[in-house]
Chain A
Amino acid sequence: MMDPVDTLLAMVLLSVLISFGSSRLPALIKVIAFQGVAVSIVPLFMGHEMTWGGIVFTLATLMIRGIGIPVYLSRAIKKVAIHREVEPVVGYHASLLAGLVLIVAAIYVSPKFNLPVGKGYILLLPSAITLIVAGMFLLMARRNAIAMVLGYIMMENGIYLVGTTFSMRAQHIVEFGILLDVLAGVMIMAIILQNIKKTFNDVNTTLLRTLKE
């Protein structure tokens, strides 16, 4: 029987590949929601001393990541009637290949960081790095603004994974700080999205180029 943490992390890595290959926004949102749930329950299996407070915090994280943000984004899509396609800059197959290369590279690179992170969990640091870089990749390789917001959330998931290895108290302070940022960020982006939509009648971010001086 595998360790539950590594199982979860393997699923997270797979979700990265799925997200790279999915072309429709609703599907992508679901993948990210799943990823958020998986990432936020990782601390429950890590053998930390679980206090009631800790469990409440973890559940709150789960609610925001797994339900709050995805629902909010789905509603945003409906409200501004956005194209359901993610409009890739890099094609889906190329993206998938890049994802695979990325995972391999992350596993190769992670021991070199020499962090006191994830002792005993081989996949923890590689998946964290993968999530961060994959989030960046989505930000760069998708024109649709919602897809870019999702990339940003994926990056944040990666940062959260690094945070799980800290001691429980510090972790919650850090995590709630980050979550607050993300929530604010997502809301601001949703507002900006509406404005972009109003101005350009589309949320294709390449149109922003026309704003250049």
Chain B
Amino acid sequence: MQPFFLSLLIISCGGILPLFLWRRPLLMRGAGATLIAAGSLLGLVDAARQLYAPVAVTATVDLLNTVPITFTSDSLSAFFLVAIFAVSGLTAVYSFHYMDKSDHAVRTAVHYLFFSLLIAAMALVVTADDMIAFLLCWEIMSLSSFFLVVYSYEKEQNRRAAFLYAVFSQVGAMFILAAFGVMYACTESFAFAGASGMPAAIKLLVFILAMVGFGSKAGLFPLHIWLPQAHPAAPSHISALMSGVMIKTGIYGIIRLYAILEWHAPVLGQIVLAAGLVSGVMGVIYALGQKDLKKVLAFSSVENVGIILIGMGVGMIGVSAGKPIMAVLGFAGGLLHVLNHALFKSLLFMGAGMVLHRTGTGVIDHLGGLIKRMPITGTTFLIGALAIPGLPPFNGFVSEFLIYIGAFNGIALGKTNFVLSLLAIVGMALIGGLALAAFTRVFGIVFQGEPRSPSAQAIEQGPTMLLPMIVAAAACVVIGVFPTAFLTMAIQAVEPLQLGYGRIPLTPFIQITATITRAAVVLFAVFLILLALRKLLYSGKTVTRSGTWGCGFTQPSARMQYTGSSYAASILAFFKPLVPIEEDHPPVIGRFPVKTHYQSRTRDIAEHQMDRLIVKPVLFLFDKLRWLQHGDIHLYIGYILLAIVVALFFV
């Protein structure tokens, strides 16, 4: 594991060095970005090499000479490492120009420290091989990302978002701790290895506890509340890193736990599949209703985590039903979607960051027509927006298609599995369709049409911000067009689950995927040829240009355009029971109506219910206990005495 630790060392240097260079901001950002990117590149190469020649490597570190903590890297870890290091490298490069506006040099330096810590912690989380190592790295990851979210702490809204994130990550960590505690009580060892010998009921308990804990990190539906708050608060490359890979550590936790429990009961698959379906459908519906660009992307992460879990669920059902093809396709599809989502979501967040950085606003309805002044951002954002609903020939299609085939294989099974497979297919289709609507909405409103406010007149700048977007977009296309190598990687990553199926003839499926993407490429090529033909035929002729959505009006104004709300309104109306919308619209009455306006706001049903069922009662209870804090020092000492007496005699 030498190259792995070396890359972490370089990344940490990239975090520490800026602390000493803060007097010279350019050098500081240069050192931070370069070192972190270089370390990530080294880690990426090492992890990719390990995926092609899979050997599990173990390293043990003695912590303070008392607790030995172990790190092991097998092909499952290596797969996640590929995603982590790829996105880290891209976002590190991106940060060089993104952070140029800030005149807080020290704060930027500290940001680089936590940035590097977060990357190192994520890499260590996916390689941790015992409970202590895992929890330690998990906490470092949660804390460093908290400090990154609270970067612009002057705004009260951001502080609240960071606090919410801290609450969710700590409560999640408590659940994980509880799950590990149960495991330790049964096996009396901190190692993960012995957990397969536990009784079935304990395994179920551990899995459910861990599912809640990891789910809160991954942004699973009822526990996703922090995502749409924290992402707009954090700097964009941090949102990209968190949404692209950090939430995937939750997914990693679930799949790793599945591997170490070695318990192939159908109930696990059912839980995971159901959670994935709820998360996917709800995430995409809420994404449609958001007004903030980054909030749309955050909810889309909730949706994609749902898709990944659907894949895992299909895989687990395949294992329990003894269908090797279904199992491998489900897991491989889910895992490949982890990588794919990491790529296109970080691409989209970086694009959103460019928009935010240049225009200063993330509100969709204030933007418009940006593709004319931001051609590279617009084009790469379009590629991401097409990849995310799973359209060929982009990468999202490949992974979702694998999950589809896996689910179709499950239709031949018995009653419950038949229903579940069918639900998975229908759910994925629904999610895909709605995601397409959500992203045509975002792309159409933000990048097309005419600017809706003066601030939307900005142009793109900063080569280090454009380069990562181009690389990520290229990766999306490459995975989509040449999926075979990446599919092999994903199938390699399924190996540590020890399903013991040996070689499965997957070539036909890969062939189908490849053929479809080829067809899409041909279609694309035809489109491009037509475009070239048009250009050729129209050369020399006069082409008049007028405003988009002009529709023949003599005095078109930017306010006549479709808005984000109006585009999504009909779909949201259909899902009204799931997405409560508050509308404020005085009706137009009479021949000479007075001035009217329209305002709508979607309310997060999970947030509302959680507030009603958990937060309010807890606050009520503690409000009733206010009298305990009376300010009298003598009675406080009395409390201490009481506590000692109780501890001595009753414990």
Chain A residues with a Cβ under 8 A of chain B = 89, 133, 136, 139-141, 143, 148, 205-206, 208-213
Give the CA-CA distance A205 to B632 in the complex, in Å.
8
Given contacts A136-B640, A148-B633, A205-B633, list 17 more A-B pairs with CB under 8 A. A89-B634, A139-B637, A140-B634, A140-B635, A140-B638, A140-B641, A141-B634, A143-B634, A205-B634, A206-B632, A206-B633, A206-B634, A208-B631, A209-B630, A209-B631, A209-B632, A213-B629
CB–CB B640/A211 < 8 A? no
Tell me which residues across on chain B come within 8 A of A133, comparing CB atoms. Answer: 641
28 residue pairs bridging A and B, Cβ less than 8 Å apart: A133-B641, A136-B637, A136-B640, A139-B634, A139-B637, A140-B634, A140-B635, A140-B637, A140-B638, A140-B641, A141-B634, A143-B634, A148-B633, A205-B634, A206-B632, A206-B633, A206-B634, A208-B631, A208-B632, A208-B633, A209-B630, A209-B631, A209-B632, A210-B631, A211-B631, A212-B629, A212-B631, A213-B629
Whole-angstrom distance from the CB of A192 to the nearest CB of chain B?
11
Indicate the size class of the contact surface on chain B: 10 to 19
Tell me which residues across on chain B come within 8 A of A209, comparing CB atoms. Answer: 630-632
Nearest A residue to B633, CB-CB: A205
Give the CA-CA distance A141 to B634 in the complex, in Å.
7
CB–CB A136/B641 < 8 A? yes
Whole-angstrom distance from the CB of A130 to the nearest CB of chain B?
14
Give the CA-CA distance A213 to B640 in the complex, in Å.
21
Give the CA-CA distance A143 to B633 in the complex, in Å.
9
Which 6 pairs, one residue from A and one from B, show the smallest C-beta to C-beta distance? A212-B631, A209-B631, A139-B637, A140-B634, A136-B641, A205-B633
Whole-angstrom distance from the CB of B207 to the nearest CB of chain A?
43
Tell me which residues across on chain A come within 8 A of B632, comparing CB atoms. Answer: 206, 208-209
Nearest A residue to B638, CB-CB: A140
- Among B634, B635, B640, B641, the one with the most A-chain Cβ atoms within 10 Å of its Cβ is B634
Give the CA-CA distance A141 to B641 in the complex, in Å.
13
Give the CA-CA distance A206 to B635 in the complex, in Å.
10
Main secondary structure of the interface of A (DSSP, over half): helix
- Among A89, A140, A210, the one with the most B-chain Cβ atoms within 10 Å of its Cβ is A140
Nearest A residue to B634, CB-CB: A140
Tell me which residues across on chain A come within 8 A of B641, comparing CB atoms. Answer: 133, 136, 140
Whole-angstrom distance from the CB of A89 to the nearest CB of chain B?
6
Give the CA-CA distance A208 to B638 in the complex, in Å.
16
Tell me which residues across on chain B come within 8 A of A205, comparing CB atoms. Answer: 633-634
Tell me which residues across on chain A come within 8 A of B634, comparing CB atoms. Answer: 89, 139-141, 143, 205-206
Nearest A residue to B648, CB-CB: A113
Give the CA-CA distance A210 to B638 in the complex, in Å.
19
Give the CA-CA distance A208 to B633 in the complex, in Å.
7
Among B608-651, those with CB < 8 Å from A are: 629-635, 637-638, 640-641
Whole-angstrom distance from the CB of B105 to the nearest CB of chain A?
37
Tell me which residues across on chain A come within 8 A of B631, comparing CB atoms. Answer: 208-212
Tell me which residues across on chain B come within 8 A of A143, comparing CB atoms. Answer: 634
Give the CA-CA distance A154 to B635 in the complex, in Å.
19
Tell me which residues across on chain A come within 8 A of B635, comparing CB atoms. Answer: 140
Tell me which residues across on chain A come within 8 A of B637, comparing CB atoms. Answer: 136, 139-140
Tell me which residues across on chain A come within 8 A of B633, comparing CB atoms. Answer: 148, 205-206, 208
Give the CA-CA distance A140 to B630 in the complex, in Å.
15
Give the CA-CA distance A18 to B493 in the complex, in Å.
77
Whole-angstrom distance from the CB of A151 to the nearest CB of chain B?
9
Give the CA-CA distance A211 to B630 in the complex, in Å.
10
Give the CA-CA distance A208 to B634 in the complex, in Å.
10
Whole-angstrom distance from the CB of B9 to the nearest CB of chain A?
38
Whole-angstrom distance from the CB of A173 to the nearest CB of chain B?
20
Tell me which residues across on chain B come within 8 A of A211, comparing CB atoms. Answer: 631
Give the CA-CA distance A112 to B635 in the complex, in Å.
28
Whole-angstrom distance from the CB of A108 to the nearest CB of chain B?
13
Whole-angstrom distance from the CB of A74 to the nearest CB of chain B?
23
Tell me which residues across on chain A come within 8 A of B638, comparing CB atoms. Answer: 140
Give the CA-CA distance A208 to B635 in the complex, in Å.
12
Whole-angstrom distance from the CB of B595 to the nearest CB of chain A?
46
Nearest B residue to A208, CB-CB: B633
CB–CB A212/B630 < 8 A? yes
Nearest A residue to B641, CB-CB: A136
Nearest B residue to A206, CB-CB: B632
Encode contact with A along B288-309: 1 for CB under 8 Å, 0 otherwise.
0000000000000000000000
Give the CA-CA distance A209 to B633 in the complex, in Å.
8
Nearest B residue to A145, CB-CB: B633
Whole-angstrom distance from the CB of A28 to the nearest CB of chain B?
17
Whole-angstrom distance from the CB of B315 to the nearest CB of chain A?
54
Nearest B residue to A213, CB-CB: B629
Give the CA-CA distance A206 to B633 in the complex, in Å.
7
- Among B630, B631, B633, B641, the one with the most A-chain Cβ atoms within 10 Å of its Cβ is B633
Give the CA-CA distance A139 to B632 in the complex, in Å.
12
Whole-angstrom distance from the CB of B593 to the nearest CB of chain A?
52
